[in-house]
Structure 1
């Protein structure tokens, strides 16, 4: 019998670690090739880790809720392959790629220090993911860790776990300056701070909170539990964090209510929505569009398209194409904000909000949608939607979005006021297409006819998008939908 080392696979260029959510197999269980062994979570998506070999699970090398580096050995599987006498057991294990060393997350350098320009055209997507969402929920998990409560800033689960282990209280944590996006405290910021504190006994961060007349001194770790210097390259064994007594589940006193604890994804969505409303002053503009020609065209081509391409053509790719055209006309809607800088994006990456069977929401991204034909957009939409519903998305599938579309019409709603998907500055909601009597202007005079009508709702960040730009943009999208060529071939 040979033993196979199962490694945590690489899940995207920007992902160096993941949290173990759940083991699907326990020691002694037999695993088929390509069968899921565990479920993992990154700050972008949840996914499964399949086994590339068949065999019996001998050992689990990490525990649930533990943060593990990409490339680390997570399990030992005993395979049915006979072990050769002249080959060492290690030789039967594929040599793992070197795990990428954690790199300090730095705020993106959008302009040179000597450049006074306020608007910077970005050549490549930001290294910091866009959110979710909805879109890249951006490392803002709010689940309490070991009884420690953090209220003043957003911290990733790993940062909270490290702080808990090292005895760093919330007041002390809030005073540590961060180098991440929007001043976020990264893992390396905290580790560097702990090294200084471990060497000097205490380390007062060179940071003063705004509008405070008094800065509290950081809280040192208890003398009975001296802090040890931590190397930035060392993975933090979350499983060794101090255990707290399990809290009893909340119950209804009257018995007339059911109390449901939010799952991890719902907490991330809730956190991101609050963050977006706190960050951007939202304004919403509405336009009603006559899409009769578009509806008739789709009805005419949908069967032949599906037979030829093996794909269904829905309205979503058509809406995306119209949005892409409008973004080319109004490129200042395809931006993000970094302090007082406006970051103008070269790529047009369309995020599309997708409802999951669990009732949650995720926002996969169609990269460089402006370079795709309508057929290409259709295939990308169907692929991402299917993989989202089957929990097969990768972290790179939900990053770098520059503009979001959400289809509230799929739930029968005629319009909505969507919340901006940070760090984007606008999101378009498309409503249900309804037959309505409408006034038709003709050279011979006005008449009333039954038309297919729909509402478009654009929510935008009033810090950088004024009513003229926001209103003109959504009107341009409606124009492209209304002027659809009934004779267009695809």
Structure 2
């Protein structure tokens, strides 16, 4: 039978290589179709390479820590009946002792790091893999520091183990503690006294190091606030009709479509309709140019069990009906929580929704997901007394009310556009067709 070559797959625009972080199988192992063979990492996301067919692994062409290019052959499987090539197996460069992945560097990256770029080669010309460069940027390791690390990989390459060991050694070095002194700004024009950060060593506190993902989120949030002048607008929305409709049809929807109908797909549908009406919100900024997107991809901020968050993207929502959006939302949310997203599924959004109501918050001021120019926060739906206008006069009733908050980039979205866009989302929700069938 034939031998099957396992390749580094294409993983999205701009990704040309991947680092092999861990082999999940050994030479001589039999695998079933779709069994994961190895884990790989780029500077955007971690992933696994599955077996395209059942067979026996006869050769690995790279070591753990190596960085093959997209399209490179990394392993060979012999299908049933094919004799393994003993000579090639013995020459395989794979190390016998496999390096475990550090838990801190196994989670998917929310978005690209904003830290300064690290050179792809040391002063001596040795290649530095994307994984090592990403760790260096995340941990604020300079190029000069990388040049001082002695690599133990092939041809002197710095491996993940090398840089993690360097970090451990760096942390173990004694730190000079300087007592904090208050820094006082000049009085006047709103200036205030600022207290410098102090050391908490010896006090009754716990010091918790940020994991890799949390550091990237922190860097990204700071960069977004520095990039875009944020303005936030708010609006109350009466979603009584929408809530009653969903309560009425959700069981039938689950039975018919085998999907849970949450409010998120309905919010996505309402936002998509508003973006069609106000396309200048579906843009990004490139210097002095405004890039208007003629497609609509909605990102949905999703909380992870670790406490971090990630933004999977629902592509082409303007081409999907409510059933299609619901299916995509449920699938992406489930795989996000189980660390199963593919690299292409966390990029390319043109607008983002974050659901504050899932945690009981009524409103908030979200930070823009760059390079987008607006983000919608959805608050909790609460029963509140409200004025109800009728042909016979006004009355007071109990209504289902929620608050929408829209943060937008004031460089390109003025208050009028932001307000009209937010109002259109509210109108789409308040005027939801409660006679719609599923």
TM-score, L = length of structure 2: 0.73
Q: 1 CA distance for matches of 2:162 and 2:320?
A: 51
Q: 1 CA distance for matches of 2:73 and 2:369?
A: 36
1:72 and 2:72 are equivalent in the alignment: yes
2:110 touches 2:216 (CA, 8 Å); kept in 1? no
Q: 1 CA distance for matches of 2:157 and 2:289?
A: 39
1:15 touches 1:395 (CA, 8 Å); kept in 2? no
1:288 touches 1:454 (CA, 8 Å); kept in 2? yes
- Unaligned 5+ segments in structure 1 are 91-133, 143-153, 169-185, 187-218, 223-234
1:43 touches 1:137 (CA, 8 Å); kept in 2? no
Aligned pair in 2 of structure 1 residues 461, 165: CA closer, same or farther (>3 Å)? farther
State how 1:73-472 maps to structure 2 within 5 Å. 73-75=73-75, 81-83=81-83, 137-140=111-114, 142=115, 154-155=116-117, 159-163=118-122, 166=125, 239=159, 245=166, 246-247=168-169, 249=171, 253-254=201-202, 256-472=204-420
Q: 2 CA distance for matches of 1:379 and 1:257?
A: 45
Q: 2 CA distance for matches of 1:259 and 1:22?
A: 30
Q: Give the deviation of 1:61 after TM superposition.
A: 1.9
Q: 1 CA distance for matches of 2:241 and 2:218?
A: 39
Q: How many residue pairs were aligned?
A: 371
Secondary structure, aligned partner of 1:288: strand
1:435 touches 1:453 (CA, 8 Å); kept in 2? yes
Q: Give the deviation of 1:139 after TM superposition.
A: 5.0
Equivalent residue, structure 1, for 2:48: 48
Q: Give the deviation of 1:389 after TM superposition.
A: 2.2
2:233 touches 2:418 (CA, 8 Å); kept in 1? yes
Q: 2 CA distance for matches of 1:2 and 1:28?
A: 16
CA-atom RMSD in angstroms: 3.9
2:110 touches 2:309 (CA, 8 Å); kept in 1? no
Secondary structure, aligned partner of 2:18: strand
Tell me which moved more, 340-349 or 41-50: 41-50
Q: Give the deviation of 1:477 after TM superposition.
A: 0.6
Equivalent residue, structure 2, for 1:190: none
1:434 touches 1:454 (CA, 8 Å); kept in 2? yes
Q: 1 CA distance for matches of 2:203 and 2:9?
A: 46
2:299 touches 2:353 (CA, 8 Å); kept in 1? yes
Tell me which moved more, 435-444 or 244-253: 244-253
Q: String of CA shifts for 1:71-106, please: whole Å, max 9, x gaps.
A: 223346677744299xx979xxxxxxxxxxxxxxxx
Q: String of CA shifts for 1:289-345, please: whole Å, max 9, x gaps.
A: 110000001111111111111111110111111111111221111110000111111
TM-score, L = length of structure 1: 0.66
Q: Give the deviation of 1:42 after TM superposition.
A: 2.5
1:17 and 2:55 are equivalent in the alignment: no
Q: Give the deviation of 1:242 after TM superposition.
A: 7.9
Equivalent residue, structure 2, for 1:63: 64
Q: String of CA shifts for 1:434-490, please: whole Å, max 9, x gaps.
A: 111112122222222111111101010011111111112111111111112221223
* Larger RCO, structure (CA 8 Å, separation 6 or more): 1
Q: Give the deviation of 1:60 after TM superposition.
A: 7.1
- Unaligned 5+ segments in structure 2 are 90-107, 128-132, 134-143, 148-154, 175-199
Aligned pair in 2 of structure 1 residues 423, 482: CA closer, same or farther (>3 Å)? same
Q: 2 CA distance for matches of 1:357 and 1:457?
A: 25
